[in-house]
Amino acid sequence: MPSSRTAPAAPTTIVESDTTIAVTGHPPLLARIYGRRGAQPAAPLVLHFHGGTFVSGDLDSGACMARMLAEVDAVVVSLAYPLAPAHPFPEAVESAYAALEWTYKQRNKLAGAGARVYLAGDEAGGNLAAAVALVARDRAHPPLAGQILVAPMLDPCVGTASLRESMDCGSVSCKWADGWQQYLRSPMDAEHPYAVPSRARRLVDLPPALVLTGADDPMRDEALAYAQRLRDAGIAVTSGLLPVETGWPDSLSEPPAQECPCATSVKQHLRAFFYPATPPPPS
């Protein structure tokens, strides 16, 4: 379960630095580390994956969500994973898992002794976070404190009501359908749980999840459906449907000049997930 420590209240300066993560048999992966000067000794350590329908995005486009995580006193490792179509499934998943192993090994150095490790992702990155949680469970390492899925891209059929309502999926083209087509090597991949976690038959023994979506989010229905499937499997799930205009998932990769209207609500959800309230002792 997420830690029951009290959330730090004093604002401090977020520091960003770029690094590389060595992956056996592949070129090094680029990553950006976000942290706060003066953060508590053992901060939540989050491996974050950006969005971009599997075919686009980079460290800059992932900055919006990574900074929101850092602003609630997490240390964040944001990963530039290999993109389709040059790198179709399962390359991004395996690279993301390698980055998770690296993050876990570096946890004390990055976030302090006793730091707990989380996965987070938005849109296609939400898919990767859910997939890597499955991989870590199946390979029995490393232990995870939680998974944070924001507007996760989980349905290759792109047939939900919330997607049909979106102007981005009209009769001519749909960027999410195009992204799925370029990510999956064949129709058979759509049945693989690491490619499409929402199709996984076994969801037990996964870490607690925070699933966030917006009323105006095209990913809304698939996000809420996956949250319910996790609950049905006995996983502790907190899901939030933000009523304010989010502009998700596009606004997550194109941060506005000013803080988005949903940022306050998102950070409240993140704080509650990282630092759940401790019940008072019995009288």
| Cα 266 from Cα 230, distance rounded (Å) | 21
| Cα 117 from Cα 165, distance rounded (Å) | 36
Average pLDDT over residues 151-172: 83
Looking at domain 14-274, which of 3.60.20.10, 3.30.420.40, 3.60.15.10, 3.40.50.1820 is its CATH number? 3.40.50.1820
108 in helix, strand or coil?
helix
CA distances from 120 to 126, 208, 227 (A): 7, 12, 15
258 burial via Cβ count (<10 Å: 0-12, 13-18, 19+) = exposed
Identify which has the larger pLDDT, 127 or 6.
127
Say if residues 52 and 124 touch (Cβ distance below 8 Å). Answer: yes
228 in helix, strand or coil?
helix
Average pLDDT over residues 76-89: 98
CA angle, 200 as apex, 179 and 266 as ends, to 5°? 65
What pLDDT band is residue 9 in, cutting at 50, 70 and 90? very low
Give the tens place of pLDDT for each residue, 215-271.
Answer: 999 999 999 999 999 999 999 999 999 988 899 999 998 765 557 778 999 999 999
What pLDDT band is residue 281 in, cutting at 50, 70 and 90? low
Segments making up each domain of the chain, as ranges = 14-274
pTM > 0.75: yes
| Cα 65 from Cα 79, distance rounded (Å) | 12
